[in-house]
Amino acid sequence: MNDASRSLHVGVAQFASDCGNPDVNLDRHLHWIAEGQKANVELLVCPELSLVGHHGSEQIIADAMRRDDPRLVELAAATGEMGCVVGFIEEGPAAQYYNATALLRDGRVRYVHRKINLAHYGLLDEGKYFSPGRTVDTADLDEDWRMALLICADVWNPALTNLAFAHGATVLVCPVNSGVEAVGVEFDNPAGWTLTMQFYSTMYGAPGIMANRVGSDKGLTFWGGSRIVDAFGRELVVAGDGEELITAVIDFDRVRRSRQLLPTLRDSDLALVHAETTRLLNKLRSSPEGR
């Protein structure tokens, strides 16, 4: 963090991953980590499942990694003081497999988020292969910056994003694998992500970082378009459709000002939400028709 201005230099490494070839993908990560360090990036975000590629059922067991996997350890050592967010398949307890993303820094795996809202619609069938995550939390980057790390479809469930900000997040980080054809021809994925990232940043007064991949895999064309949005919902930088590193400086003073003007977080009433959610659940359980 730049102590004088309380800012953070962030970046997105937008690139393609080879499905089922984590060793090749490891080398690509080392390349982009080096590029981020050359650019003096303090937090670098890679796309969803960046170490293993867009996955179906094949090779999930072979490609899955525990948190102490030597490849994650090698990447963590390479990051140095720069934080780096990477995607992988995590093998958890009881032989359960998760679409996961890790924050690496100072030679360690500092935090892991398991994708909760597994996409199981259109051309997407994650629910057949992965177990869902069960918790929403945040990771401290420094005194000002607390990261909400949500994976792709997680942010299409507004309740999960609201929980992350209720936990005190001041920046939203969203690695994705978004293909043009994923949902259907009537649904504009690129426009949807533009709207989603601007909405959350504006609503919660927090910068947003979206990291998409490029290339094609399993009938999907990944359109890139990674972006960094400020605390007022303004796009600071947007990537094209090829491999590239984009960077921007996010300013905590903008977070302070935005949240003073639009105090969504201050005025959120968790006790009311909890009470009404409990009441609704009880109502649904007691009614055979769900009403």
Pairing of strands 220-223, 214-217: antiparallel
Placement of tokens 């050359």 in the chain: 38
Placement of tokens 């709207």 in the chain: 195
d(CA 11, CA 9): 7
Q: How far is CA 211 from CA 131, 270, 286, in A?
A: 23, 30, 43
**CA angle, 162 as apex, 158 and 168 as ends, to 5°?**
155
Q: Which residues of the chain, if any, have pLDDT below 50?
A: none
* Of 213, 238, 219, 217, nearest in space to 227 by CA: 238
d(CA 250, CA 8): 5
**Extents of the domains making up the chain:** 7-262
pTM across the whole model: 0.95
Q: How far is CA 36 from CA 52, 57, 81, 196, 217, in A?
A: 21, 32, 12, 26, 26
Q: Please, what CATH class does the domain formed by 7-262 belong to?
A: alpha beta
State residue 3's pLDDT score: 54
State residue 177's pLDDT score: 95
One-character DSSP codes across 156-213: GSHHHHHHHHHTT-SEEEEE---BTTSS-TTS-HHHHHHHHHHHHHHHHT--EEEE--
CA 10 from centre of chain: 14
State residue 56's pLDDT score: 64
State residue 1's pLDDT score: 54
State residue 108's pLDDT score: 97
